[in-house]
Structure 1
Amino acid sequence: MSEDMNNIEVETFTEGEKVKGTVTKIEEKQVLVDIENSKLNGIIPISELSSLHVEKASDVVSEGDELDLIVTKVEEDLLVLSKRKVDAENAWETLEKRFENNEVFEAEVNEVVKGGLVVDLGVRGFVPASLVEDYYVEDFSGYQGKTLSFKIVELEKDKNRLILSHRAVIEEEKEKEKKDLLEKLEVGQTMKGTVQRITDFGAFVDIGGVDGLVHISQLAHHHVEKPSDVVSEGDEVEVKVLSVDQDNERISLSIKETLPGPWTDIAEKAPRGAILEGTVKRLVSFGAFVEVFPGVEGLVHISQISHRHIGTPHEVLQEGQTVKVKVLDTNEQEQRMSLSMKELEEDHSQQEYEAPEETKGFQLSDMIGDKLKDFNKE
């Protein structure tokens, strides 16, 4: 009688049918369950508990848990069941909606495997290494058990393929921050930034999620040959916003305009009478321009180059030459400085017109007196 009843029970179940069961016992490689409204026993093989690899069944379920299950095999007095298939079926519906809506959601990293991360979403989701961060990660071991935000970038239910990206979320957030910053930026405001990249024509500075260009001409008050001469990657700098092009997302910045001008306090840096060393930058018909500080050039008038008469500065100077000069006068407002080389040069003019050796010791009156005597004799 009981055996006939069991046969009748078995015949009422088919493969693929959904049932409810309660966990009664957890063994090493399987879980035993009572089937609702049935005297039949059911087992869930450990491989059918989750879409992920399971070491211990107790990691997934506990005694007394009520589970939604699918019949995978019907035996004489036993049902083989799957929790994994029910989870996957329910998950695909949710995942398809998330994919269509480009939704961002959070999930825990369940495994770190070769080539990326694995996330259990009822379906095994894979995060390739290149889609974890927007920078290179050498060791992913620290991601085990970590909760991250994801977007679905590939979904193929028939191939059981689900590819997730955390990088896409980061890039989307950065793009939003960038747009917000571009809208708030105002020409003339100053802020701090970090030098990200150096090129031949300038330096790109991160000012909070967006990079702006400091052209080589805006790096310093003095002429800069190479940007790397004045800034390095990673330097924290203060910059001033020169222009903002929101459509093309271009920002022009200046470091130069945040620095004191080279002529600021020039009277203190180069007081009258100070002796400085400088470089001849330009030679003109009326003198030479000598750079004594970066961005500060003073004029040595042709009359102040030498004690001896010269027709042109080119006779005694050449561009690039290092010379010593004396400060005659400075004007910060007009950015002018008068310099002299002559005042540091020994004056040999007296020696050039000195009386011959044989006349030394005679007074002019003596010579005139002799002439007068000769005149009176006549």
Structure 2
Amino acid sequence: MVEDMNQVDVKVFEVGEIVKGQVTKVEEKQVIVDLENSKLDGIIPISELSSLHVEKASDVVSEGQELTLEVIKVEEDALILSKRKAEAVQAWKDLQVAFEAGNTIEAEIKEVVKGGLVVDLGVRGFVPASLVEDRFVEDFSDYKGKTLTFKIVELDVEKNRLILSHRHVLEEEKGKLRKQSLEKIESGQVMEGTVQRITDFGAFVDIGGVDGLVHVSQLAHQHVDKPSDVVEVGQTVKVKVLSVDRDNERISLSIKETQPGPWSNINEKAPRGTTLTGTVKRLVSYGAFVEVFPGVEGLVHISQISHKHIGTPGEVLKEGQTVQVKVIDVNEQEQRLSLSIKELEEKEEEVKDYELPEENKGFQLGEMIGDKLKDLKS
């Protein structure tokens, strides 16, 4: 009867079976566990402790710890067990649920490897470098030990493949913030923003989580050849909202409209009688337009170009030429500036070659002959 009872107490284990065990000893390359309802020793090789590489068994488990394990081999005096496989079974189930639902998961970065990061979620998860952040990162060395939130972008149990993305999480958060910001932004608002990107056609400015475009024509009152001549990435700028397209998430901004116009206070900057240095911008039949301040051009009428009579302004001036001009009239309201070049030049004295009248010439000749005759007589 006693023998029958002892036989009942001996449990027969099978490969693939999930068992519970308590860690009794942690050695360098393996762990010994005490199994429920069994006199056999349970051995976990170091390679079966984790889905990741393990240097020391003590880095993963400690004495007295309760573990869920899978039987991978049955020997006469011991069971070879796997903590890694037991965890993977449940892990894949949980990950599949999260993947199908589109849920996020948190994980600690365990390793930094070539091409990305590695996490342990009961199975090995890989985060490609391009999916870590929504910006370029040159060095990932300080990511080890950090806990980040991820989205599962690829899951294949058969291939033991799990690809994660932190970038997707950031983009979703920015998307939500962008929609919230778009609801609050209205045309006409003046806001502060940060220059994010510069292109040939303008600059993108972040105004509270949403980017708006400042077209090159709206960067400054004066003509701008290259946006990078006026703004730089990271610069804080004041912008005015020109329009908001919530359906397409597009915002048009202006820096120019937050700044005083070039004609503002022109009466003070260029009062009548002031001498200014300017650049000839355009020649027309009736005169020349000279830029004296950025965005401020005044007209030098053809009659004010030279004291000499000229048929066309091009006889005296050429585009791009630097000239001195005098302000002869200014009208801020009508944005009109009348200039003169000739008033700064000295008027050349007129030299006339008068001819003597004929009678005078004759008189002089007679006098000369008379004088000669007097000399002969004497």
Q: TM-score, normalised by structure 2?
A: 0.86
Kept in 2: contact 1:10–1:76 (CA 8 A): no
Kept in 2: contact 1:6–1:40 (CA 8 A): no
How far residue 357 of structure 1 moved from its aligned partner, in angstroms, is 12
- Whether 2:25 is the aligned partner of 1:25: answer yes
Q: Deviations over 1:214-265 (max 9, x none)?
A: 2222121122233333333443322211112222222211111111100111
How far residue 282 of structure 1 moved from its aligned partner, in angstroms, is 2.9
Cα distance in structure 2, aligned partners of 1:130 and 1:357: 95
Report the equivalent of 2:350. 352
Kept in 2: contact 1:196–1:203 (CA 8 A): yes
- Whether 2:89 is the aligned partner of 1:89: answer yes
Report the equivalent of 2:316. 316
Kept in 1: contact 2:10–2:37 (CA 8 A): no
Cα distance in structure 2, aligned partners of 1:261 and 1:49: 72
Helix, strand or coil for the counterpart of 1:94? helix
How far residue 85 of structure 1 moved from its aligned partner, in angstroms, is 1.6
Kept in 1: contact 2:206–2:212 (CA 8 A): yes
Mean CA deviation greater in 295-304 or 165-174:
295-304
Q: Deviations over 1:36-77 (max 9, x none)?
A: 233332222222221111112111111111222222222223
Cα distance in structure 2, aligned partners of 1:5 and 1:115: 59
Kept in 2: contact 1:238–1:258 (CA 8 A): yes
- Whether 2:174 is the aligned partner of 1:178: answer no
Cα distance in structure 2, aligned partners of 1:225 and 1:64: 73
Mean CA deviation greater in 67-76 or 120-129:
67-76
How far residue 309 of structure 1 moved from its aligned partner, in angstroms, is 3.6
Q: Could you say if the C-alpha distance between residues 229 and 116 of structure 1 is closer, same or farther in structure 2, counting changes exceeding 3 Å? A: closer
Report the equivalent of 1:339. 339
Unaligned runs of 5+ in 1: 359-378
Mean CA deviation greater in 29-38 or 5-14:
5-14
Helix, strand or coil for the counterpart of 1:170? helix
How far residue 196 of structure 1 moved from its aligned partner, in angstroms, is 3.4
Cα distance in structure 2, aligned partners of 1:22 and 1:2: 28
Q: Deviations over 1:75-122 (max 9, x none)?
A: 223222222221111111111110001111211011122222111111
- Whether 2:51 is the aligned partner of 1:43: answer no
Q: Could you say if the C-alpha distance between residues 251 and 72 of structure 1 is closer, same or farther in structure 2, counting changes exceeding 3 Å? A: same
Mean CA deviation greater in 1-10 or 274-283:
1-10
Q: CA RMSD in A?
A: 2.6
Helix, strand or coil for the counterpart of 2:19? strand
How far residue 310 of structure 1 moved from its aligned partner, in angstroms, is 3.7
Report the equivalent of 1:369. none
Kept in 2: contact 1:7–1:76 (CA 8 A): no
Kept in 2: contact 1:330–1:337 (CA 8 A): yes
Q: Which amino acid aligns with 1:42?
A: G
Q: Which amino acid aligns with 2:350?
A: E
1:1-378 matches, within 5 Å, as 12-348=12-348, 351-352=349-350
Cα distance in structure 1, aligned partners of 2:233 and 2:67: 57
Q: Deviations over 1:133-158 (max 9, x none)?
A: 22232222111111011111111112
Cα distance in structure 2, aligned partners of 1:346 and 1:147: 80
Mean CA deviation greater in 302-311 or 155-164:
302-311
Unaligned runs of 5+ in 2: 357-378
Q: TM-score, normalised by structure 1?
A: 0.86
Q: Which amino acid aligns with 1:44?
A: I
Mean CA deviation greater in 49-58 or 206-215:
206-215
Cα distance in structure 2, aligned partners of 1:34 and 1:91: 24
Cα distance in structure 1, aligned partners of 2:224 and 2:116: 46
Kept in 2: contact 1:20–1:68 (CA 8 A): yes
Q: Which amino acid aligns with 1:212?
A: G
Q: Could you say if the C-alpha distance between residues 331 and 72 of structure 1 is closer, same or farther in structure 2, counting changes exceeding 3 Å? A: same
Kept in 2: contact 1:329–1:338 (CA 8 A): yes
